[in-house]
Chain A
Amino acid sequence: GAVVSQHPSWVICKSGTSVKIECRSLDFQATTMFWYRQFPKQSLMLMATSNEGSKATYEQGVEKDKFLINHASLTLSTLTVTSAHPEDSSFYICSARDRSSYREQYFGPGTRLTVT
């Protein structure tokens, strides 16, 4: 099946710094990618929808200036957590919608962010 990768798989950063997470569709083109956040023992929560070449659409309660999303190509979307704080520590997961088969969506393996 289609593959979505995330980089890095885990990252530790200091409070106040920014960290960028990449999401790539490896064998298909994705006009739309989604970013989710998952806290320990909780379900995935949708943060934003990222469309190639346009601004991301954020879910209610998600700060767009803190979680910067860029979807500059059909295979890459990035999520930058700016001025990270310990409460931003979480598991971040992306998914991508196949451009050729728009009914299909594939999830990445996730990125574990720890802010110290």
Chain B
Amino acid sequence: DAKTTQPTSMDCAEGRAANLPCNHSTISGNEYVYWYRQIHSQGPQYIIHGLKNNKTNEMASLIITEDRKSSTLILPHATLRDTAVYYCIVRVDAGNQFYFGTGTSLTVIP
């Protein structure tokens, strides 16, 4: 699986958009970008995934650059409940085991 690089931590003001970047410069053509988050002492929660086109669901938007070497997860209106560690994972599909990196610890500030 391609390796991903994320900032260790980020802060975001409540109500503002949170933009979480991820670099995956060695991604292969058939690998998807998945985003999960883990709220303290809970299991990871699926957020969104995409191959090359931008995606949006009820939780977030995923913007993947044209060369697919990086992506950004956008939480449009961050709330205090969005404080969590966000993991960007590159996988051929979600069916096999995940190898988690260190993720980005997002703190939403009142």
Contacts and interface: CB of A to CB of B under 8 A. Distances in A.
Interface of A: 1, 4, 6, 32, 34, 36, 43-46, 49, 91, 93, 95, 97, 102-110, 112
Interface of B: 36, 38, 41-46, 87, 93-103
25 contacts: A1-B46, A4-B43, A6-B43, A36-B100, A43-B87, A43-B101, A44-B38, A44-B44, A46-B98, A49-B97, A91-B41, A95-B98, A97-B95, A97-B96, A102-B93, A103-B93, A103-B94, A104-B94, A105-B94, A105-B95, A106-B46, A107-B43, A108-B43, A110-B41, A112-B41
Contacts of B42: 109-110
A43 B102 contact: yes
B69 to A, nearest CB: 22
